[in-house]
Amino acid sequence: MTNTTVTTESTPVNTALIPLPVNVARALTAVGGLATAASAYLAWTWTSDFPGDLTYYGAPAGVQWLTFVAGLLTLLFSLSGYSVKGLRWLASQTTAPLLISSLGGLAVTWYSLGAIAVELGGLANLTTGGTIAGVAALIPVIGALGLPKADTAPDGGGLKARLAAYTAKLDRTTPRTQVPAWQQRAIITLAIAVGLSVFTYGIDSYTETFIGFLIVVGFGAWALHAAGILERFSALTATHRGFSTVLAFAAAAVFPFTQNNDHNANLGVNILIFGTVALGLNIVVGLTGLLDLGYVAFLGVGAYAAALVSGSEYSVFSGTTFPFWAAALTGAGASLVFGVLIGAPTLRLRGDYLAIVTLGFGEIFRIAVNNLDGVSGPKITNGPAGIPGIPDLTIFGFNLGNSHAFGGFTIGRFANYFFLMLVITAIVIVIFTRAADSRIGRAWVAIREDETAATAMGINGFRVKLVAFALGASLAGLAGTVSAHVTYNVVPNPYQFAGAAPPNSAFLLAAVVLGGMGTVSGPLLGAALLYLIPEKLQFLQNYELLAFGVALVILMRFRPEGVIANKRRQLEFHEAEEPATPAEPAAPATAGV
């Protein structure tokens, strides 16, 4: 008698929501993505009244470009499943990126068609091309829903198995080599160029087009994150940190040259101002863990200090005009002094008590500058009228208020201030990163994690928190000196917790939390989003706090560490999430013969 072992292989369960053959589903995603992109070249409306004029064949415009990009991204993700040479970097072990990108194409296309119907007064305004676009955008969604959750090749082999076999083949034939450094830098350069193009398109968009832009960017970023591409790019930029930083600033410096009017440069300089102030708040909130609800007051202190020595005829020191470097030091120094004066008696408090005190300081500042009008108090700030007539800065004989020709381009007033603010932002980033990586920075993080344990280890908690408070305040004051000259005047209304136009304390805190606490690029991204969205979508201005609240709730649910995550905080927020335990292989069936 002999024993024979018979192994029974389990049949893989089809986890697709729509039961379709894998070959058919994959073909639908590829054909649907191509058709969605191609539909952008058709005319969608009979009339040119819709923004962008969508009446031409072969010339995409406005929202049609968004549909084209979404369809192209879906096509690329679909082709990566076939291991097309050059697209393996898009490959993923799941079909989630493909499904997300196809849903993004469906969302932006159907939103655009709905906006056309609402704006022009009915579906009758859609041409056959618009109908084709709507149907084409649905095809890749059906195909993606017909694929199992784990990506499967047309020949039945899983993507993970294909990649493993491909890797094994490389190991047997050629030594594994890393991508050359010049190629890595080329990838970073290309990505930053794409980022500049995306930002330029977004800042030039309004209402209908901007909403579609947000849809495409949101779903596109989600799909790239699901495919692991954003994490790989983050690791790449970390390897070439200096090169990436210099290139990012170079791309920012190119931005004013891409604009035909100075209004967008004005948006850019305000984003940099608020982003810089948010970076200062990030030291207090993100690194040290102190909840400051009156931080915008330090921006106001710097702005008022610079306005008083600006040479404005409405200043009580109208005969005093400081050069920019002296005015910047005055604004930063005044905010630093106020930071120490406010922090010294209050930083012994913790948690909600500290938040209430800082909120009170913000209100005290606003009320005080309102009353320093010569009637209710000494005449220093002119009360509600503020200090108008602040002259433009002159640096090395270069008047920032005048337009200048440069290489065939005309650089306007706001573009001049944009370049100045870009230099200041670079200085603030250097200060932030050097401080965060220093001994005092590690003490801040220790205080944030557990102040009691940090104190027991010998850290002077009060002194460390006071340094953070003072440094953050001085950075806000530095940005305030530029803000005063950009706006020509300083008034009390903006410097409150909420309700006024940005910046306010709620705006700055939301920028830090949404962007990513403890990071450099997070607050800058948060400030850009929170400033641009109300600016482009005017109907949201009356519901600004509601929109902020909804965004915070969604973010806390799905990504509590922020859009750009600090690795340490990401581990803290997800420490309870255990990796899925792989299923044990089925026991072999043994039969005796």
Mean pLDDT of 551-575: 70
Report the DSSP beta bridge partners of residue 45. 126
Do 37 and 137 meet the contact criterion of CB atoms below 8 Å apart?
A: no
Q: 345-399, pLDDT tens digit by residue? A: 888 887 788 888 888 888 888 888 888 887 877 888 888 888 888 888 888 878 8
Is the torsion defined by CA of 287, 293, 299, 302 positive or negative? negative
Mean pLDDT of 303-322: 84
Cα three-residue angle 308-309-311, rounded to 5 degrees: 100
* pLDDT given for residue 104 in this prediction: 93
Calculate the average pLDDT of the chain. 80
Count of beta carbons in the 10 Å neighbourhood of residue 333: 16
Amino acid, single-letter form, for residue 131: T
The DSSP code sequence of 345-373 is HHTT--HHHHHHHHHHHHHHHHHHHHH-B
Give the Å distances, CA to CA, from 342 to 18, 337, 353, 365: 62, 9, 14, 11
Q: Please choose, from the candidates 318, 313, 450, 282, the residue with its C-alpha nearest in 3D space to the C-alpha of residue 388.
A: 313
Amino acid, single-letter form, for residue 39: S
How far is the C-alpha of 247 from the C-alpha of 357, rounded, in Å? 41
Mean pLDDT of 420-437: 90
Q: 208-229, pLDDT tens digit by residue? A: 888 889 999 999 988 888 888 8
* pLDDT given for residue 78 in this prediction: 86
Tokens standing for residue 204? 């030039």
How far is the C-alpha of 327 from the C-alpha of 302, rounded, in Å? 9
SS3 content of the chain, % helix, strand, coil (to 5): 65, 5, 30
Comparing 427-431, 492-496, 558-562, which segment has the lowest mean pLDDT?
558-562
Percent of the chain with pLDDT over 70: 84
Helix ranges restricted to H, 88-145? 96-120, 128-145
- Specify the residue for token string 């618009």: 130
* pLDDT given for residue 216 in this prediction: 92
Mean pLDDT of 278-300: 88
Mean pLDDT of 176-203: 82
How far is the C-alpha of 117 from the C-alpha of 135, rounded, in Å? 16
Please state whether beta strands 3-6 and 589-592 pair in parallel, antiparallel, or not at all (unpaired).
antiparallel
Q: Give the DSSP letter of residue 384.
A: G
How far is the C-alpha of 228 from the C-alpha of 90, rounded, in Å? 9
Confidence of residue 87 (pLDDT cuts 50, 70, 90): low
The upper half-sphere exposure of residue 368, i.e. CA atoms within 13 Å in the direction of its Cβ, equals 11
- Helices H / strands E in the chain, number of each: 21, 6
* pLDDT given for residue 151 in this prediction: 52
* pLDDT given for residue 461 in this prediction: 83
Q: 130-187, pLDDT tens digit by residue? A: 899 999 999 999 988 888 766 544 444 444 444 444 344 433 333 334 677 888 888 8
Q: 31-45, pLDDT tens digit by residue? A: 999 999 999 999 898
Helix ranges restricted to H, 121-207? 128-145, 159-173, 181-203
The DSSP code sequence of 505-573 is HHHHHHHHHHH-TT-SHHHHHHHHHHHHHHHH-GGGGGGHHHHHHHHHHHHHHH-TT-SS--HHHHHHH
User: Which range has the top average pLDDT, 59-63, 147-151, 575-579?
Assistant: 59-63
Count of beta carbons in the 10 Å neighbourhood of residue 584: 6
Comparing 64-68, 142-146, 266-270, 564-568, which segment has the lowest mean pLDDT?
564-568
The upper half-sphere exposure of residue 92, i.e. CA atoms within 13 Å in the direction of its Cβ, equals 24
Confidence of residue 90 (pLDDT cuts 50, 70, 90): low
Tokens standing for residue 36? 């969605």
- Specify the residue for token string 């320093």: 372
How far is the C-alpha of 283 from the C-alpha of 472, rounded, in Å? 6
* pLDDT given for residue 184 in this prediction: 84
Do 212 and 107 meet the contact criterion of CB atoms below 8 Å apart?
A: no
Mean pLDDT of 288-292: 86
* Strands annotated E in 384-445: 394-395, 398-399, 404-406, 409-411
* pLDDT given for residue 399 in this prediction: 82
Q: Please choose, from the candidates 334, 323, 14, 307, the residue with its C-alpha nearest in 3D space to the C-alpha of residue 152.
A: 14
Q: Please choose, from the candidates 90, 73, 94, 57, the residue with its C-alpha nearest in 3D space to the C-alpha of residue 137.
A: 73
Whether the pLDDT of residue 333 is over 50: the answer is: yes
Mean pLDDT of 307-336: 86
Amino acid, single-letter form, for residue 291: L
* pLDDT given for residue 459 in this prediction: 86
Do 105 and 74 meet the contact criterion of CB atoms below 8 Å apart?
A: yes
How far is the C-alpha of 404 from the C-alpha of 329, rounded, in Å? 27
Is the torsion defined by CA of 499, 473, 276, 283 positive or negative? negative
Confidence of residue 574 (pLDDT cuts 50, 70, 90): low
Q: Is 550 exposed, middle or buried (0-12, 13-18, 19+ CB in 10 A)?
A: exposed
Mean pLDDT of 86-115: 83
Cis, peptide link before residue 140, omega less than 30° from 0: no
Helix 505-515 crosses helix 544-558 at what angle (to 10 degrees)? 20
Confidence of residue 335 (pLDDT cuts 50, 70, 90): very high
Q: What is the pTM of this model?
A: 0.82
Which domains, and CATH codes, for the chain?
Answer: 22-160+206-222 (1.20.1440), 260-498 (no CATH)
* pLDDT given for residue 159 in this prediction: 45
Tokens standing for residue 2? 């002999």
Q: Please choose, from the candidates 157, 130, 4, 122, the residue with its C-alpha nearest in 3D space to the C-alpha of residue 62.
A: 130
Tokens standing for residue 588? 């072999």
* pLDDT given for residue 426 in this prediction: 92
How far is the C-alpha of 157 from the C-alpha of 161, rounded, in Å? 7
* pLDDT given for residue 176 in this prediction: 39
From the centroid of its chain, how far is CA 312? 37
Tokens standing for residue 278? 């948010």
Q: 452-491, pLDDT tens digit by residue? A: 888 888 888 888 889 998 999 999 999 999 998 888 888 8
